[in-house]
């Protein structure tokens, strides 16, 4: 009999134990695996919220992980009408504390108050004003810390691009230009809309001890992915400094020769993010296809030397103009002519007559072929697929002659001309330019002996030719000047001439290739070569004075 009672007791105990284990397991499961979700649901049920765009869009960084955006923390004034104990008193207190908002305070008594929906007042607060407001602790009125994506010192603005959409109006930021557009998917946060809210109790009153909350649909706020560029912030800043000091309209491209990566890309005039994007003259000249003028003589020389139609020491006689069979003429920039000179010297002197003659030996198809071979028409790895150049030369002698001088049928971007200089400096090895850290495969495009001849010719152009003003003490430099006709006239009815210089430095183990373009700058040797020198001096700390 006792054994039966004991058995029943044991069975009853086991049942109770099983029930407690099930309940304990359920509680543990809810706490460990569902706790965050249930907490979020509880908070959401007691949350008065204001919908905002997610301000945590991914950053755009330089190669060292430093931001190019100069994003700034800013404060907005948020109003939660349902939490205002005394709207009139709150308005009066706010007007006294922030006089500049006095014209807006009547909004607090308008339809927005009656709708009881939270809203942001237009304008921003300073950090001091936000602190003052926080110390006053006015129920229902808060200084909200947000982020202004672009600051006054945002670099590489044409490359960075811009977004559309106001986060303060609950809109999603979307890239519409530049890297912002090209990598919009990566930069956009997983939850593009977030809620700014306060937690209230069952009576709708502010829950003490809980401040403002930023929450996504899943409870947390996740940042978008960062995009890392090959640009170097210090180099970009130096280039932009020189441009701002000397150039009204123009562009500079700087290539790291060993890697082929773009270290700086700048265009002027720039633009203000507060005044809209790319209005009038503010387009990106660093990627614009432009007549390169005599810079194209590098391509003519490369093709002629490779094809064997000219020797560096072959002698020519320049009398100041080249006369075609139909009696049309192309003048040399030196009206009296250069006299007798070798092909090497003609390159250094940028002699038009000699290069027209050599180009005619090659013909239009060879010039087009070598332009493509040297990568002058290729785009940028990791960025826009738009071509970096277009070389389409007519078959008539006059067309070939003009093309040899970088005019008719030849348009190339400053970036791709910097790449051309890097190819020569690299010994005839081409590497496609990249602006996002993705490696491209180098390929040989010129025989090493031809590249060596080009290097010597570009060195001579700086040492004793048209590029003297690009000389770099101690390091040495090599390059080519260019002056391109535009077909336009200035206010004095004088021809507008674009100024160019393309080169690299130092001579021993070259590190940087630079293209300088100045719209309407005149002689490349007088203007663009000087800018090249100033950029190198600033980057290397050399004082040429």
Structure tokens belonging to residue 232: 């170097």
The pLDDT score that the predictor gives to residue 123 is 73
User: Residues 185, 93: contact at Cβ < 8 Å?
Assistant: no
User: Residues 168, 188: contact at Cβ < 8 Å?
Assistant: no
Residues forming beta bridges with residue 370, ordered by sequence position: none
Q: Which domain holds residue 141?
A: 48-90+116-228
Residue 262 and residue 288: Cα distance in Å, rounded? 16
pTM: 0.84
303/331 same-domain check: yes
- Pairing, β 339-342 against β 329-331: unpaired
Residue finishing a domain among 173, 198, 228: 228
367/492 same-domain check: yes
Among residues 291, 246, 284, 290, the alpha carbon closest in space to that of 266 is found at 284
Determine, yes or no, domain membership for 144: yes
Average pLDDT, the chain: 84
User: Into how many domains does the chain fold?
Assistant: 2
Determine, yes or no, domain membership for 100: no
The CATH number of whichever domain residue 223 belongs to comes to 3.90.1310.10
325/458 same-domain check: yes
Question: At 243, which helix (H) or strand (E)?
Answer: helix 233-246
277/256 same-domain check: yes
Q: What is the pLDDT of residues 212-240, one digit of tens each?
A: 666 766 666 788 999 999 999 999 999 99
The CATH number of whichever domain residue 374 belongs to comes to 3.40.710.10
Q: What angle do CA 542, 544, 545 make, to 5 degrees?
A: 130
Helix axes 127-136, 87-97, angle to 10 degrees: 140
477/357 same-domain check: yes
User: Residues 418, 253: contact at Cβ < 8 Å?
Assistant: yes
371/504 same-domain check: yes
Q: What is the pLDDT of residues 275-302, one digit of tens each?
A: 655 555 668 899 999 999 999 999 999 9
Determine, yes or no, domain membership for 73: yes
Determine, yes or no, domain membership for 1: no
Residue 120 and residue 212: Cα distance in Å, rounded? 14
Determine, yes or no, domain membership for 24: no
Determine, yes or no, domain membership for 381: yes
Hunting for tokens 């003589």 — which residue is that? 297
Determine, yes or no, domain membership for 510: yes
The pLDDT confidence band at residue 261, using thresholds 50, 70 and 90, is very high
Structure tokens belonging to residue 168: 């303060």
The pLDDT score that the predictor gives to residue 159 is 94
Determine, yes or no, domain membership for 101: no
210/285 same-domain check: no
127 vs 120, 131, 210, CA distance in Å? Answer: 17, 6, 22
Residue finishing a domain among 228, 243, 266: 228
194/278 same-domain check: no
Residue 203: partners with Cβ closer than 8 Å, 6 or more residues away: none
């Amino acid at each position: 009999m006792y054994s039966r009672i004991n058995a029943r007791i044991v069975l009853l105990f086991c049942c109770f134990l099983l029930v407690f284990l099930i309940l304990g397991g359920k509680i543990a499961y809810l706490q460990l695996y569902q706790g965050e979700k249930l907490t979020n649901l509880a908070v959401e049920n007691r949350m008065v919220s204001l919908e905002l765009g997610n301000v945590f869009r991914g950053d755009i960084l330089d190669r060292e992980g430093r931001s190019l955006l100069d994003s700034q923390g800013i404060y907005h004034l948020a109003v939660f009408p349902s939490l205002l104990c005394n709207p009139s008193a709150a308005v009066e207190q706010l007007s006294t504390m922030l006089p500049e908002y006095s014209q807006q305070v009547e909004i607090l008594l308008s339809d927005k108050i009656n709708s009881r929906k939270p809203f942001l007042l237009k304008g921003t607060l300073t950090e001091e004003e936000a602190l003052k407001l926080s110390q006053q602790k006015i129920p229902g009125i808060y200084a909200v810390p947000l982020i202004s994506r672009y600051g006054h010192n945002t670099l590489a603005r044409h490359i960075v691009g811009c977004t559309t959409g106001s986060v303060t109006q609950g809109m999603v930021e979307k890239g519409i230009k530049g890297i912002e557009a090209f990598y919009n998917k990566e930069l956009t946060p997983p939850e593009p809309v977030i809620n700014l809210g306060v937690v209230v109790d069952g009576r709708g009153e502010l829950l003490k001890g809980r401040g403002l909350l930023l929450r996504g649909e899943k409870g947390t706020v996740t940042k978008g992915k960062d995009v890392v560029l090959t640009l170097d912030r210090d180099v970009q800043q130096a280039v932009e400094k020189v441009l701002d000091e000397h150039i009204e309209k123009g562009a500079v491209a700087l290539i790291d020769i060993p890697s082929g990566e773009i270290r700086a890309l700048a265009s002027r005039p720039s633009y203000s993010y507060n005044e809209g994007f790319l209005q009038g003259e503010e387009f990106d000249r660093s990627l614009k296809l432009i007549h390169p003028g005599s810079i194209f003589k590098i391509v003519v020389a490369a093709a002629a030397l490779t094809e064997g139609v000219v020797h560096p020491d072959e002698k020519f006689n320049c009398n100041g103009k080249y006369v075609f069979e139909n009696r049309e003429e192309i003048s040399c920039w030196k009206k009296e002519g250069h006299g007798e000179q070798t092909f090497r010297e003609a390159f250094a002197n940028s002699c038009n007559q000699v290069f027209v003659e050599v180009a005619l030996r090659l013909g239009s198809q060879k010039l087009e072929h070598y332009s493509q071979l040297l990568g002058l028409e290729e785009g940028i790895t990791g960025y826009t697929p738009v071509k970096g150049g277009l070389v389409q030369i007519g078959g008539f002698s006059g067309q070939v002659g003009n093309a040899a001088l970088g005019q008719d049928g030849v348009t190339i971007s400053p970036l791709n001309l910097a790449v051309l200089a890097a190819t020569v400096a690299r010994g005839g090895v081409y590497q496609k330019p990249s602006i996002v850290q993705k490696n491209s495969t180098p390929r040989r495009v010129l025989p090493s002996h031809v590249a060596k001849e080009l290097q010597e010719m570009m060195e001579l152009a700086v040492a004793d030719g048209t590029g003297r003003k690009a000389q770099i003490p101690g390091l040495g430099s090599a390059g080519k000047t260019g002056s391109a006709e535009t077909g336009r006239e200035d206010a004095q009815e004088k021809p507008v001439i674009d100024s160019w210089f393309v080169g690299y430095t130092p001579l021993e183990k070259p590190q940087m290739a630079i293209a300088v373009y100045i719209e309407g700058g005149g002689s490349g040797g007088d203007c663009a070569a000087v800018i090249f020198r100033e950029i190198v001096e600033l980057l290397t700390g050399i004082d040429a004075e």
